[in-house]
Structure 1
Amino acid sequence: MPRDAGAVRWRAVASKASISRSVVLCQIPLTVIVVVIAVSAPLLRPGLTSDPAFDLGLSMILVLLALSVIVPWHELPRGSLLIVPILDFVAIALVRTGALEVQPALGVLAVFPVLWLMRSSLPPWVSLALTVLGSLLVTSWPLLGSFDPAQLRSYLGVLLLPIVMLCIAVTIRVMISGAQAREIEIERKDRELNDLLRAAIDRERVLTAILNTVDVGLTAVDAHGNTTLTNRQQELFNRLSGHDDGQGGSMVGADRVTPLAVDRQPVYRALTGETFADELVWVGDGDAQRALSTAARPIKNADGSIAGALIACSDVTELVEAVTAKDAFISNISHEFHAPLTSVLGYLELVMEDEHPLPGHLRGYVDVAGRNAERVLHLVADLLSTAGDRVRVHPRPVDLAALIEMSVRSNRFRAQKNGVKLKTNAQTPLWTLIDPLRISQVLDNLLSNAIKYSPDGGVVTIRAEESESTIDLHVEDRGMGMTEQEARQVFSRFYRTPAARSADIDGAGLGLAITKSIVESHGGSIHCVSAPGKGSRFTVTLPVNGEVSRMPQDSIGESV
């Protein structure tokens, strides 16, 4: 408040000083010209200063200048200022009358009070009327009190100066109006610019607040790599890397040891026009080292040249450590499973090779157990590769229909136990180029899931359709089903639906993730369509990579 009050007082004082200064400045030019004429009169115009009318006019002008300086005009009504120019007309009339014989052109001095009137706040018609009357007073003063009809032509000459002054006044008024209009326009644009400036400041303040709120580090650089903008999170990353300008510092690669080469650092790559995302780098040292996922995009001018770049960094240390822990867990579990499974397979082989052969039906059971144990062993080996999103496949010509039949036989006992009926519909043989072990794994995963998630029984249908370039394999059930969102997430590792968890259905959430990886390793795709309470349909689409000669076709038929 004291500062605002002081500003108001200062503006008030400045306004008062401005009024007094304007009055003095308007009066000085007329005074200087008349004084110069009076001083030079003894040499140039003898007898001029001895005329009482001239002396009286000069005295009035000097007195008016003194009043302009002394009188506190800001304390008087604003219209009182017009007394000075009106009295100036009287003084000019006296000066002109006194010098009429030697200097009749002094009437032109009327232009000074005219200028003053035109710049006043009077209505235009009042200013013009005073201009004409004042100018007429200047030219008609010598004729006051006498009238000679013989001098009528001379009397008409008194109108010349008022007409000239009127024209000058109109011109000045037009110029002042134009200047005022321009001033108003400038003030309007100045207000608009101030509004835009305030809006820009507000937007910058909001943008700064947003940038400093997000947990993503942002850096903008110009074409030379100089930082033009950064946020608080990025400043923390820069301090962590030991480099305050965000240009790299102790940035190392994914191995957390090798320093990142200059041409592989995010800023350099972005300024060369490269766009990338999810590039992992490490900053810092020792226990304080952090993993950053970086993304960058160049900023281009209208002509396509690089004007700068924007780099974003996200701290993903916890995620990287979680993935590492998960991979270590899978690796340990795989090793723990490998030894007992190998032992099981060995004992099953001993049973099959025993000198006392098993009965036929028991031999079939042991054969199925051995084949499934072997698949489990391969599955354990695959856990390591799925941790790195890689599954190796060894395609060869295989009859897919035979694989379907084998998978149905392997899952028949479980289906009967759950009250599920298995149906197949496929042409036979259905030769294609696939890895039989992996595709058997896919079929077993899909069938076991369909049976497991049909707790109330029903029918599970397996269909295989061949087109010109693909083979579509459908596994459909009428079980508990899923929502659309759950169907999109069901291929994620370790994901299980809430309904499956609440129903206490066994599973680790790995089967469909491995299935998807195997299918994609074959160049195919898998998707799910499901609805709660209406079941699910999984569709595997495999490319026809090769064909062999076909045998006569018949239907596999229906299996129970």
Structure 2
Amino acid sequence: MARRFTVEGAVVLYQAPLSLIVVVLAVTSPVLRPGLMSNRTFELGFSMILLLLALTVVVPWRELPRGSLLIVPILDFVAIAMVRNGALEKQPALGVLVIFPVLWLMRSSLPTWAALALTFLGSLLVTAWPVMTTFDPSLVQTYLGVLLLPIVMLCIAVTVRVMNLNARARELEIERKDRELNELLRAAIDRERVLTAILNTVDVGLTAVDAQGNTTLTNRQQELFNRLSAGNGDDDRAHVFGVDRVTPLPTDRRPIYRALTGETFADQLIWVGEGHAQRALSTAARPIKDADGGIAGALIACSDVTELVEAVSAKDVFISNISHEFHAPLTSVLGYLELVLEDEHQLPPHLKGYVDVAGRNAERVLHLVADLLSTAGDRVRVHPRPVDLSALIEMSVRSNRLRAKKNGVKLRTEATSPLWTLIDPVRISQVLDNLLSNAIKYSPDGGLVSIRAEETESAISLHVEDRGMGMTEQEAQQVFSRFYRTPGARRAHIDGSGLGLAITKSIVESHGGYIECVSSPGKGSRFTVTLPVNGEVSHMSQGSMEESV
């Protein structure tokens, strides 16, 4: 507490208790100790203590050399010696007043040995004052008794110094921890400023929520998205829609709800806002877990992909339109080429080869146009009916056997027969042909291609596996994108447009299923098609027909 006072204030507080006790003795002496104030020695000691108190008040100790104020406790020993000697007969216990200058000395910055020496000498002065002028050999026992108070004060002084050192050590430790905490606090504030600046600089909307869905952190971009979803304020409905831009997104399909249920996802497309201000957001989320593995919150990121979505839509429209424009003249060209080939007698032999080449290239372009038309929409039209899938597999294997033989590839089939399910036979045959032809094509050194089908209560899984050139994990993730071809396929000059697997994925998804690829460079690839069975397929297929282009 003394640290809160000035030097002058601390000096006054050290001297005030001793002065107060002496004043009380003087005031009560006429009643309790008559004649005390008439003692010259007591009066001189009393006056000296009051004078020292006055000096502590008026002297500018801060301007004096350090340690000069210690003259006050040293003179206190002299004053206490006179007060005790003057009241020795009426109040012999006044020697204990030396505790005040002793405490002062032990709390000072003096070296321990110097403070202990002054304590002993000062206490000895107080007790030895009466016998200092005379020496009587018969009073040896009395002379030894004067050492009792100095020894007691010396023990008290040691105890006080030890306690003071411990207290100072604790004080220094507290100050050190306080500095560390202040530095950590400043660092945390600086990091928060940097984080806020970063969050408000990026063009991605970020939101952190707690386990109850309450927002704990957001940035400026997300606030703009939130204002769009809030609408004009006329109603409390959130303007958040699905991919069709019209159907409100159910609460259990919104990013925050999904993340708080433990889902981790990316690229969920939603639309916020209404009218011309509507924006497409690609959302991703990841739950935040506590130390026990429970859901403590979630982090949701939203990116504005409106221009990208509109560009993809425009591209699909362009592909669809240009494909339709190509289809009619190509069909006409093929028709006239067939007419020319029918009149073999009037066609010179050397021209027949030219016409054959033109016909094959025209058919190739027509197939490419058909592929473009198939990929122009998000889904293809399917017409499901009961079909034996094992029979379709056998037909596809038979049609690809000649190509496999040329490449030195062996085909192996593992399928339960019959394997009845509700699918579009034409479209699923296209899936099988695409997967088989790719497996053969990307096995330039031969090997084995296996086709395996298995059925569970809820789904049918179809596996096409080869031991060819394979792909990296990143390439396997992009292989279903339109026009994508792996660098290895381009280096090997393997023919292809990059549309086959995109069409395959679209057909599978139109049946309510999904397709996956697992691959490793130099070890081959495995494509797995999973289709729901019977009634589930029928329901999904009908939805696909309604959404098809």
Same fold by TM (over 0.5)? Answer: yes
User: What is the rounded CA distance, in whole Å, between the counterparts of 1:272 and 1:108 in structure 2?
Assistant: 76
**Alignment match of 1:40 (pick from 28, 31, 51):** 28
What's the CA shift string for 1:225-269, capped at 9, x where partnerless? 221111222122223333799x99422222212333333332233
**Alignment match of 1:291 (pick from 259, 265, 280):** 280
How many angstroms does 1:105 deviate by?
0.3
Q: Is the 8 A contact 1:488 1:528 kept in 2?
A: no
Q: Is the 8 A contact 2:269 2:281 kept in 1?
A: yes
**Alignment match of 2:224 (pick from 204, 222, 236):** 236
**Alignment match of 2:269 (pick from 280, 292, 296):** 280
User: What is the rounded CA distance, in whole Å, between the counterparts of 1:76 and 1:291 in structure 2?
Assistant: 77
Q: Is the 8 A contact 2:374 2:503 kept in 1?
A: no
SS at match of 1:49: helix
Higher mean Cα deviation, 247-256 or 318-327?
A: 247-256
Q: Do residues 212 (structure 1) and 179 (structure 2) align?
A: no
User: What is the rounded CA distance, in whole Å, between the counterparts of 1:333 and 1:515 in structure 2?
Assistant: 18
How many angstroms does 1:298 deviate by?
2.5
Q: Compute the TM-score of the two structures, normalised by the length of structure 2.
A: 0.74
Q: Do residues 257 (structure 1) and 246 (structure 2) align?
A: yes
Q: Match for residue 399 of structure 2?
A: 403
Unaligned runs of 5+ in 1: 1-13, 409-421, 451-459, 477-481, 531-536, 546-560
Q: Do residues 50 (structure 1) and 38 (structure 2) align?
A: yes
SS at match of 1:78: coil
Q: Is the 8 A contact 2:409 2:449 kept in 1?
A: no
Partner AA of 2:448 in structure 1: E
Aligned length: 494
Q: Do residues 31 (structure 1) and 19 (structure 2) align?
A: yes
Query: Relative to 1, partners in 2 of residues 1:423 and 1:164: Cα closer, same or farther, differing over 3 Å?
Result: same
User: What is the rounded CA distance, in whole Å, between the counterparts of 1:328 and 1:221 in structure 2?
Assistant: 40
Q: Match for residue 544 of structure 2?
A: none
How many angstroms does 1:329 deviate by?
1.8
SS at match of 2:171: helix
**Alignment match of 1:89 (pick from 60, 71, 77):** 77
User: What is the rounded CA distance, in whole Å, between the counterparts of 2:354 and 2:400 in structure 1?
Assistant: 19
Identity of aligned residues (%): 65
How many angstroms does 1:212 deviate by?
2.4
Q: Match for residue 539 of structure 2?
A: none
SS at match of 1:314: strand
Q: Is the 8 A contact 1:399 1:429 kept in 2?
A: no
Q: Do residues 329 (structure 1) and 325 (structure 2) align?
A: no
Q: Do residues 165 (structure 1) and 165 (structure 2) align?
A: no
User: What is the rounded CA distance, in whole Å, between the counterparts of 1:206 and 1:496 in structure 2?
Assistant: 42
Query: Relative to 1, partners in 2 of residues 1:134 and 1:429: Cα closer, same or farther, differing over 3 Å?
Result: closer
Q: Match for residue 69 of structure 1?
A: 57
User: What is the rounded CA distance, in whole Å, between the counterparts of 1:295 and 1:367 in structure 2?
Assistant: 53
How many angstroms does 1:345 deviate by?
6.5
**Alignment match of 1:120 (pick from 108, 111, 118):** 108
Partner AA of 2:244 in structure 1: D
User: What is the rounded CA distance, in whole Å, between the counterparts of 1:437 and 1:360 in structure 2?
Assistant: 37
**Alignment match of 2:408 (pick from 408, 425, 429):** 425
Q: Do residues 317 (structure 1) and 300 (structure 2) align?
A: no
How many angstroms does 1:135 deviate by?
0.4
SS at match of 2:287: strand
User: What is the rounded CA distance, in whole Å, between the counterparts of 2:486 and 2:253 in structure 1?
Assistant: 42
Partner AA of 2:283 in structure 1: T
**Alignment match of 1:465 (pick from 442, 448, 455):** 448
Q: Is the 8 A contact 1:219 1:231 kept in 2?
A: yes
How many angstroms does 1:528 deviate by?
9.8
User: What is the rounded CA distance, in whole Å, between the counterparts of 2:176 and 2:411 in structure 1?
Assistant: 86
SS at match of 2:36: coil
How many angstroms does 1:437 deviate by?
5.8
User: What is the rounded CA distance, in whole Å, between the counterparts of 1:126 and 1:101 in structure 2?
Assistant: 33
User: What is the rounded CA distance, in whole Å, between the counterparts of 1:361 and 1:34 in structure 2?
Assistant: 141
Q: Compute the TM-score of the two structures, normalised by the length of structure 1.
A: 0.72
